[in-house]
Structure 1
Amino acid sequence: MRLLYIANIRLPTERAHGLQIVQNCEAFAAAGAEVRLWVARRFQTAELRRAADPWTHYGVARTFQIRRLPCLDLLPLVPGRADALSKLVFAVQLATFAVAACLGVLFARADVYYSRDPLILLCLSLFKPRRRLVYEAHLLAQGRAGRWIEQRVLRRVGTVFTTTRHLAESLIERGAPADRTHPAHDGIRAARFAAPQTVAEARAALGYAPTAFVVGYVGRFQTLALDKGVGVLIAAAARIEGVTVLLVGGPAEAAESFRVQWSALGRSAAEFEYAGQVAPDDVPRCLYACDALAIPSPAGDWFAYHSSPMKLFEYMAAGRPILASDLPALREVIDERAAVLLPPQDVTAWAEALRRLRDDPTLRSSLAAEAKARVMRAYTWEARARMILSAIGDAHLEDSL
């Protein structure tokens, strides 16, 4: 099967979707597909201009091709803004990339055109048969224009995959074909976690204190302009003596605000570690350096039903106990046997859970063991790729009958 994945992203990128897409392309290739990835040729950040090529940066095999398509990228002129002008600039960038992708597709043969971008699929549907178009949905469209595009895409693609069951149900309600809409949870690249380290080994490599009880958070501190609840973790950890917080990710300005919050709560700066945005291959070591890992997501609809944080699966693979907000989307993957599930934004409950984990090594071990066994059994990119390719093949077979 020749699979062409079209993604309107910078590559490399500091955001999790870059890692997700690249690891999925590697997994599709390992499952037998001939894979090409087309991304936007966009202005890169100063830090990532110094990064290696995408395969090396993300630590994946060179089993798929990458091509960069032109677009009109004015986004650096409106950094960090979320006003009408920035939305217009993004729309121009997306539209010009979609045009470039459609022109490229005219001269590129593939059995499957795979994308997370509804506008691209809508354009492709004008001249490509339905059975060849595959939509991987990560959120519900918002606004009149977004809903209009989404409704047409759901009718014009052959197969839809979603990262949560709740998102699949929501898209079916919006018109996606029920028999061709499949949940496909995120996962992990098992090879990244093939050489686990003890807490002591990881901390020695990173230069962190060997004796503190460290609770970690890895990832972006905001998504879709929504706060991810890290402030709740800071407030809870500050109540428990002997707990150190480790943050990995960005942006750095947000991390600095959390450092100020930590100090304002009377805690020592020595008990707050910020590692910055680390290379993908360094993430496992940061996870191994922690005694517990946190997903303090708030309770809004996006987090409750449609968010599938990649950090969840990597936390599970790292073999460390997890504290997570008790949300339906997370419960699709974990339960009380695999994590401590807590009311979102309840600082007191989070503080007590941290105290309990700090004082109960048996509980830490049992939660971590169950979570690791579960992710290795059911949530690898390789298993996901096989399921997706099988579902696409079944849809092709039905259309040919």
Structure 2
Amino acid sequence: MKIAYISQSKLPSRAANSVHVMKMCQAIASHGHSVALWGLRPVAEAFSRKSSIFLSYGVRRNFSLFRLLHFRGIYRFYVLGAVIGARVWNPDIVYCRCIQSARFAARLRLPVYFEAHHPLEGFDNLESAFRELVASPYLKKLIFITKALEEYFTSAYPEISCATLVAPDGADPIAEEYVPPPRADARFKVGYVGQLHKGKGMEIIARLAELCPWADFSVVGGDEHIIAEWKLQCKDIVNLHFVGFVPHSEVHIHIIGFDAVLLPNQRVVGVAGNPLLNISEWTSPLKAFEYMAAGSAIVSSNLPVLREVFADGVNALLCDPGQVEQWQQAILRLSSEPELRATLGANARRDFMEKYSWSARARAVLAE
């Protein structure tokens, strides 16, 4: 099939959504489909050549990439250009992460798949676009990243009549024979990978580092200005280290070097650039599956949406997101029970290989 994938991601960027669309396009193409991805080209270009974008995300160049220059306030022109470009390409499916693009594609009588990552309530222009899309016979499938999100949409929009699918985020497998770099010392190492904006749990990590001076804590990722703020707040915590941004193609190197990894989502999780949006009830964090792919011992917040993936004592240890003492006890337990670390990591990797690779996700979303 020919699949036109229209995102709303800036390519390249540090946002998780950009990783998602690049990885999904690679995975879809790896199943033998012809894929073209449309995205936003930042005004301040981060790379000089398209090939560098593929390398930065660690994906093969097995799909076409079209980036349209985007200026603030004229997003509608991107939608127009991307959908018309897709129509000229004559696809069998227009796969959209952008609701305006999905609506416009349906108006042009193109078969549409739409993938939702959060509710549209409170965003009147998005909600009206979605209602129009749902009424169109050209909407063929809705994809949701969590069961909670699917239940929300099907309850809020009982007029939905097309096929629906729950497809959590994913990751790429890590070769079992991969050998991590040698370690400088034998101290217990705890890691976090991801953004640092409100609700991601940096306050838990900082407090944990204070309570566990016998371990080293590393934070991989985050924007420079937020890192600077946290460095200032944590200047006296000598066992807390900020690695900063690394290209996504190198993230697994850091994860494999940790003895335990953290997913400390809070009950309110914000989104960079959108302070009104709380994704805590719907999120499917990329880091969860990257941790699982590495066979890591995971300590995660005990939230309903994360329990769709994690079971306490089976493939992770679950803690109340606001009770740092529970996190401390989990880290102490993992440090003293290497067999438990190994069991949790093996179970997490098994679950990942069975259900959560990008390849498995691509196969599921395109299945009839």
* Residue aligning to 2:146: 164
State whether structure 2 residue 145 is matched by structure 1 residue 146. no
* Residue aligning to 2:359: 382
Summarize the alignment of residues 285-364 of structure 1 with structure 2, pairs less than 5 Å apart: 285-300=253-268, 302-336=278-312, 337-364=314-341
Tell me: CA distance 1:34–1:194, structure 2 relative to 1, closer, same or farther (3 Å). farther
Q: Is the 8 A contact 1:229 1:345 kept in 2?
A: no
Identity of aligned residues (%): 28
In structure 2, runs of 5+ residues without a counterpart are 270-277
TM-score by length of 2: 0.90
State whether structure 2 residue 188 is matched by structure 1 residue 234. no
Give, in angstroms, the shift of residue 134 of structure 1. Answer: 0.6
Q: 1:377 is aligned with what amino acid?
A: E
Q: Is the 8 A contact 2:116 2:143 kept in 1?
A: yes
* Residue aligning to 2:52: 53
Summarize the alignment of residues 275-294 of structure 1 with structure 2, pairs less than 5 Å apart: 275-294=243-262
* Residue aligning to 1:182: 165
Q: What secondary structure is seen at the aligned counterpart in 1 of 2:18?
A: helix
Give, in angstroms, the shift of residue 258 of structure 1. Answer: 2.7
Distance 1:194 1:249 in 2: 25
Which of 74, 79, 84 is matched with 1:98 structurally? Answer: 79
Q: 2:165 is aligned with what amino acid?
A: H
Q: What secondary structure is seen at the aligned counterpart in 1 of 2:37?
A: strand
Give, in angstroms, the shift of residue 64 of structure 1. Answer: 0.9
Q: 2:167 is aligned with what amino acid?
A: A
Summarize the alignment of residues 47-126 of structure 1 with structure 2, pairs less than 5 Å apart: 48=47, 53-71=52-70, 73-74=71-72, 89=73, 92=74, 94-126=75-107
Q: Is the 8 A contact 1:237 1:354 kept in 2?
A: no
Give, in angstroms, the shift of residue 203 of structure 1. Answer: 4.9
Summarize the alignment of residues 249-264 of structure 1 with structure 2, pairs less than 5 Å apart: 249-264=221-236
Q: Is the 8 A contact 1:202 1:288 kept in 2?
A: no
Give, in angstroms, the shift of residue 313 of structure 1. Answer: 0.3
Stretch deviating more after TM superposition (51-60 or 109-118):
51-60
* Residue aligning to 1:369: 346
Q: What secondary structure is seen at the aligned counterpart in 2 of 1:341?
A: strand
Give, in angstroms, the shift of residue 21 of structure 1. Answer: 0.9
Q: What secondary structure is seen at the aligned counterpart in 2 of 1:238?
A: helix
Tell me: CA distance 1:51–1:29, structure 2 relative to 1, closer, same or farther (3 Å). closer
Distance 2:20 2:55 in 1: 15
How many correspondences in the alignment?
355
In structure 1, runs of 5+ residues without a counterpart are 75-88, 395-401
Q: Is the 8 A contact 2:172 2:293 kept in 1?
A: no
Q: What secondary structure is seen at the aligned counterpart in 1 of 2:32?
A: coil
* Residue aligning to 2:272: none
The structure richer in helix per residue is 1
Give, in angstroms, the shift of residue 232 of structure 1. Answer: 1.2
Stretch deviating more after TM superposition (50-59 or 365-374):
50-59
Q: 1:379 is aligned with what amino acid?
A: Y
Q: 2:250 is aligned with what amino acid?
A: D
Give CA deviations for 1:356-399 in whole Å, capped at 9, x if unaligned.
21222121111111111110111111111111111xxx3xxxxx
Tell me: CA distance 1:194–1:361, structure 2 relative to 1, closer, same or farther (3 Å). closer
Q: 1:97 is aligned with what amino acid?
A: Y
Tell me: CA distance 1:382–1:127, structure 2 relative to 1, closer, same or farther (3 Å). same
TM-score by length of 1: 0.83
Q: What secondary structure is seen at the aligned counterpart in 1 of 2:114?
A: strand
Q: What secondary structure is seen at the aligned counterpart in 2 of 1:263?
A: coil
Q: What secondary structure is seen at the aligned counterpart in 1 of 2:242?
A: strand
* Residue aligning to 2:275: none
Distance 2:280 2:41 in 1: 34
* Residue aligning to 1:246: 218
Summarize the alignment of residues 7-22 of structure 1 with structure 2, pairs less than 5 Å apart: 7-22=7-22
Tell me: CA distance 1:102–1:228, structure 2 relative to 1, closer, same or farther (3 Å). same
Tell me: CA distance 1:203–1:188, structure 2 relative to 1, closer, same or farther (3 Å). same
Give, in angstroms, the shift of residue 263 of structure 1. Answer: 3.4
Q: CA RMSD in A?
A: 2.0
Q: What secondary structure is seen at the aligned counterpart in 2 of 1:125?
A: helix
Q: 1:69 is aligned with what amino acid?
A: L
Distance 1:52 1:194 in 2: 28
* Residue aligning to 2:273: none
Distance 1:2 1:128 in 2: 16
Give, in angstroms, the shift of residue 214 of structure 1. Answer: 1.4
